[in-house]
Chain A
């Protein structure tokens, strides 16, 4: 069973994303801030990470940089899921090693799930 780590400070989003992934048979790990997200990624080696950018304690860019510079976590694919949509943020995230960048307001839950499945298949 594939493990997905969701790093997101909005508890409502944690709930809804968690539900849709669990329904499809994934094991869901939760982190409400960047520090916890990084720690759980290192300790539990998920198969994929969903990462918000605006997070308490440590923002998404800092988490992404730490993940990609640690040999334990550098190969884990990271999907950025955020409401930030400037070209600058998108380029920064993709250059930082994110597999894809999704703007929350442009996707339904099922579309997010499809993206997750596609990346896990790759």
Chain B
């Protein structure tokens, strides 16, 4: 009985397709099922038509040709579906590899700090204990941030990402984020300026996610500006929209890498040269949130000369 149910499940295309989270018309098993029905239908109808129209072989040949054309199209769709599924499987393996590597770095830091804290041969001094506690705190935050970013990306991709849109002030959000990074910018010898242009208006967006967008952009600008400098934010109000730009004097993005900037886990070679840590998800999240909010994001950059990120958001409820 168990075996019968197992076979029944395996030949049921709908049961197999529900595993893959793809539309039914892109599922290979369903398409093979349709192809089978088309083949059987064509054979049967060709037989009856050929029998009743023996004197008209041209019609029979036309039917067979049309059926061949339909089968070719179905084959093409099936092959594409297999390719998409293979690509999804490859990306999943790559994602697992990247995430496990990114998690291992802070976990190793935590393990080694714990080895020293609980060493049986050398009791740490108060100062050393403080240093190890800082390592534990910093790296657990790093792991937490990575997991948060991954969950965000997963929610966006599964379509389960509701935005609680309200009229919010982009200027207030920018000021809040500049305040949040105050100690960091001071320590990095970076000056952050904010300029407003036009008559102030509000954008129609989810305030928490808009904060995340501004935070990710500001974090990048500061992180990749080594040796001090200025980060300039300009918020410009025009009819129906607000535009936001953030310009830094940092390492810039090489031309050949610019097309990958918004992809998941992408980290530019020039960024790796600064030795900074990051998940490579921040800009991907920025793009997804801005576009889901009805806006657009883009950037201008040159290696060694800094980067300016821009986004615009609507102020009128659609």
Binding site for B on A (CB under 8 A): 9-10, 12-13, 15-17, 19-20, 23, 32-33, 56-57, 83-84, 104-105, 108-110
Inter-chain CA distance A102–B122, complex, in Å, is 24
Interface flag for B6 (CB, 8 Å): no
Find the B residue at minimum CB distance from A9.
Answer: B275
Chain A residues with CB below 8 A from B108, complex form? 10, 13, 83, 104-105
Q: A10-B105, A104-B104, A108-B111 are in contact. Are A19 and B128 (CB under 8 A)?
A: yes
Interface range on chain B (Cβ under 8 Å from partner) = 20 to 34
Neighbouring B residues of A17 by C-beta, 8 Å: 112
Identify which of B107, B108, B116, B273 gathers the most chain A CB atoms within 10 Å of its CB.
B108
Question: B139 at interface (Cβ–Cβ under 8 A)?
Answer: yes
Q: Which of B116-141 contact A (CB under 8 A)?
A: 116, 122, 128, 131-132, 135, 138-139
Complex CA distance for A25 and B284, rounded to whole angstroms: 47
- 6 contacts across the A-B interface (CB closer than 8 A): A9-B275, A10-B108, A20-B116, A56-B273, A83-B105, A108-B115
- Contact of B109 (CB < 8 Å), options: A16, A23, A32, A56: A16
Q: Give the complex CA separation of A10 and B128 in angstroms.
A: 18
Q: Flag whether B272 is at the interface (Cβ < 8 A).
A: yes
Question: Nearest chain-A residue to B102 (Cβ)?
Answer: A83
**Closest Cβ neighbor of B112 among chain A residues:** A16
- Pairs A-B, 4 closest by C-beta atoms: A16-B112, A12-B109, A56-B275, A109-B115
Chain A binding site: helix, strand, loop or mixed by DSSP? Answer: helix
Q: Which residues of B contact A109 (CB under 8 A)?
A: 112, 115-116
Not counting A12-B113, A13-B108, A33-B275, a sample of 20 additional A-B residue pairs whose C-beta atoms are within 8 angstroms of each other reads: A9-B275, A10-B105, A10-B108, A12-B109, A13-B109, A15-B135, A16-B109, A16-B116, A16-B132, A19-B116, A20-B116, A33-B273, A56-B272, A56-B275, A83-B104, A83-B105, A108-B111, A108-B112, A109-B116, A110-B115
- Inter-chain contact B139/A12, CB cutoff 8 Å: yes
B101 interface residue per 8 A CB criterion: yes
Residues of A within 8 A of B107 (CB): 105
B274 contacts the other chain (Cβ, under 8 Å)?
yes
Q: Output the least CB separation between A83 and chain B (Å).
A: 4
Verify A12–B135 contact, CB threshold 8 A.
yes
Question: How many Å from the CB of A39 to the closest CB on chain B?
Answer: 16
Within the complex, what minimum Cβ distance (angstroms) separates B193 from chain A?
29
